[in-house]
Amino acid sequence: MGILNGPRRLEDLFVNTDAFPTESLSVQTKTERSVYKLFKAVRDEKSLNTIKLNRESHIEYISDGLKGLSKYLVVLDASKPWLCYWMLHSLDLLDYELSTGLIKRAISTISKLQNPTGGFCGGPGQISHVAVTYAAVNALATSGIKEAYDLIDRENLYKWFLKLKRDDGSFIMHEGGEVDVRGAYCVLSVATLTNLITPELTAGTAEWIKRCQNYDGGIGGVPGIEGHGGYAFCGLAAMEIMGKTDLLDIPLLLRWASSLQMQMEGGFQGRPNKLVDGCYSFWVGALFPLLEAILTKRQYEKDVANSEDTQCIYRPLFEREALQEYILIACQSPKGGLIDKPGRGADHYHTCYCLSGLSTSQHHVIYDFERAKGEDLDSGARSLLWEEEITNRVVVGDPDNLVKPTHPIHNVTLPNVRKMIEHFYGKREL
Amino acid sequence: MTLEAEVWNDITPIPQDDGPDPLAPIAYNPEYAKAMGYFRAVAQKDERSERALDLTEQIIEHNPAHYTIWRYRQQILFFLNKNLYEELDFVDEQIKYNPKNYQLWHHRQIIVEKLMDVSRELPFINNVLNDDAKNYHAWTYRQWVIKTFNLWEGELEFIDKYLDKDVRNNSAWNQRYFAIFFNPNKPTDDFLAQEINYVIEKIKLAPNNISPWNYIKGVIAKSDKDIDILEGLCKEVEEQKIISPHALGCLVDIHESRARNGSATDKAEGIKICITLAEKHDTIRKNYWEYRKVTLASI
């Protein structure tokens, strides 16, 4: 289906203004017009089937970044591991084989950013930060070799995590830093990959995240605040890691997440009545495999209880083709790299999350709970149960547009998640 | 601002150790690189001095997201017993240019926690919201200020202004929920009945606006009312020949709730609307409405 081949004409997809103009409406109208123009051109040329992911130019953009960044990017001088992760993960998704030299450079760069008191920091001489630590560990996971994993000082990492934990179950981002749901997600994702999840680490955290869910189903940064695509992903993924998704109102979260897909643009907004942004292709897009897995599990448990034998797997619950149309037609910078929305310039953050969203919409990654055989598995083992349902791929445009499947919890490609978990937990049957 | 040599002549700057051939090195402005060299040297000694304080300011000018520098700055400010009102002036200026920076907002919170004086905060936040009525940091900080200093009074009137200006401002709707339900004074049933009427009027202004639809369902869930009470509104929208997926979706909720109480007609009616939404009015959410249809069918 998608948008260009959908049941409604493009011209019928403009937002219904109710003849009641406000600021939100005027910026929305402007944005959807810019996307409409691009879509219309593709429709008129009938070129949707040949639309290409400009793989080579994106690789070139990232390779340039790996060599060096301009002075203006000093604003990311406290985010060096993020830069490494965005670039390496993008290359990995694009199926660009990371050379031994590049992997060695990555390990060496990140080795300079680990603090003896635990965790990783944004740049040499800085203090450790939870989000940066998540990026560093994901970059090491993407490097995919033992030498990268062995770099992580797990003992001090764990001690540091505990220092950041507050009595209410939430985590601060760094010593003296702010609290929000990113903290919980980053700690738990890293702790899963490195086999550091303990009852002590997770005590109270699920109850705190539950408080961040809003009346509309979205999850905000802290209790009381508006639901937001980025925080919703962090909240749901953290709950999934802890096996505590039953504390959330899942049908309401699904409704909210579904409402964020734009009918003209095909991409996602991060909050109701805000504008589409390519980065939510992942943050909101990846909510769906998680939600589908939770609903499937509930259905399965119900069927088992009723001694019924169904093979119910929830089908994808968002419009996968529409999202790909947005990313491929509206989010590729002609100079390489991907963008927020038409008119914006490329950056490494949007490149990473547009490609991660592209992956999430091409591959149907499902949670194979039957393989768990009802056992009470640790979070590492559960992360290994995510796998691609190969028969359910959808690739818009050129068939070569296919990128690698990414893990819906960690956002590292599936083979690299498996390698790291097998390293830290020992080889397992799952 | 430049780094004056004589202030620093006793300090040997420590160069950045990135190791050989690091990934994505940034071509630093020489002033920044120099400042960071001095920072590493003074931080190593944990020097808490005027010159170190100046240094943090210079680094922040280059990179306001430098969380380590902010932390260091806080330690120096408190150690030297600096005038924290002047620090608020500094933050006022900085946030103008970086209204979406985590560190700045958190820094402000730390300063205000120390001062325990909230007099400047709401006017300051209002300024930021005037420029961007959906600034997530500003609303988050506003909630912290209201909770910490018990400033619930007048908040609803404040939000009214924002909703009058832009009824699609979801942040303002969320703040409305916060002002009513996070308030230690719990709302009465009468109040909630009035609130529901207020929202219905707002929905009528623009029935395709999702925010008040979400909000009204949130309020109903907290009140002694049932979602049934929205049926009249949904029908009214329909009679005006306005197609609103939110009104139709609300009808699905109403029918679903009655179907759960055993009504087969409602089950059939709900399924019918799901199909219309999936096939005609809300095709981007086809998969979602099909899921709702299956859920209804299995009741």
pLDDT at A300: 82
Q: Is the pLDDT of residue B2 over 60?
A: no
d(CA B191, CA B173): 17
Which one from A274, A297, A298, A393 is the annotated catalytic residue? A274
3-state secondary structure of B81: coil
Interchain proximity B209–A18, CB inside 8 Å = yes
Choice between A313 and B283, residue whose per-residue pLDDT is larger: B283
Q: Could you tell me which residues come within 8 angstroms of residue B237 by beta carbon, excluding any fewer than 6 positions away?
A: B204, B207, B244, B247
pLDDT at A307: 80
Q: Estimate the crossing angle of helix B121-131 against helix B136-149, to 10 degrees.
A: 160
Nearest to A68 among B16, B24, B243 (CB): B24
Residues of A in contact with B172 (CB under 8 A): none
- Give mean pLDDT, residues B139-163: 98
Number of H helices, E strands in chain B: 15, 0
- Give mean pLDDT, residues A155-183: 98
List the structure tokens of A345: 């310039």
Q: For chain A, give the percent of residues with pLDDT over 70.
A: 98
For residue range B253-269, list pLDDT tens digits in order.
Answer: 999 999 999 999 999 99
* Domain spanning A22-425, CATH class: mainly alpha
Q: Is the pLDDT of residue B1 over 60?
A: no
Interface mutation target, options B21, B107, B219, B287, chain A, most CBs of A under 10 Å: B287
pLDDT at B281: 97
Number of H helices, E strands in chain A: 18, 2
Q: Nearest chain A Cα to B182, which residue?
A: A224
Q: Is A350 a catalytic residue?
A: yes
Interchain proximity B106–A259, CB inside 8 Å = no
Q: Is the pLDDT of residue B12 over 70?
A: yes
Q: Is the pLDDT of residue B135 over 70?
A: yes
pLDDT at B5: 74
pLDDT at A430: 58
Distances, alpha carbon B238 to alpha carbons A314, B30, B232, B251, in Å = 32, 65, 10, 11
Interchain proximity A7–B283, CB inside 8 Å = yes
Interchain proximity A261–B206, CB inside 8 Å = no
Residues of B in contact with A254 (CB under 8 A): 288, 291
- Give mean pLDDT, residues A363-372: 88
Predicted structure pTM score: 0.98
Q: Is the pLDDT of residue B60 over 60?
A: yes
- Give mean pLDDT, residues B176-205: 97
Q: Are A217 and A254 in contact (CB under 8 A)?
A: yes
Q: Domain-by-domain residue ranges, chain A? A: 22-425
Q: How confident is the model at residue A369 (pLDDT cuts 50, 70, 90)?
A: confident
Q: Is the pLDDT of residue B55 over 70?
A: yes
- Give mean pLDDT, residues B214-222: 97
Q: Greatest CA separation found in chain A?
A: 64
**H helices present in B15-169, as ranges:** 30-44, 50-62, 67-79, 84-97, 102-115, 121-131, 136-149, 155-165
Q: Domain-by-domain residue ranges, chain B? A: 152-229, 241-299
Considering the segment(s) B152-229 as one domain, its CATH architecture is Alpha Horseshoe (1.25)
Q: Is the pLDDT of residue A370 over 80?
A: no
CB crowding A198-236: b at 16 or more within 10 Å, else e:
eeebbeebbebbbbbbbbbbbbbbbbbbbbbbbbbbbbb
Residue B18 near chain A (CB below 8 Å): yes
Residue B39 near chain A (CB below 8 Å): yes
Nearest to B67 among A78, A215, A273 (CB): A78
- Give mean pLDDT, residues B165-186: 98
Average pLDDT, chain B: 96
pLDDT at B275: 98
Q: Could you tell me which residues come within 8 angstroms of residue B84 by beta carbon, excluding any fewer than 6 positions away?
A: B77, B111, B114, B115
pLDDT at A304: 79
Residues of A in contact with B296 (CB under 8 A): none
Q: Is the pLDDT of residue A375 over 90?
A: no
pLDDT at A384: 95
Which one from A121, A186, A212, A279 is the annotated catalytic residue? A279
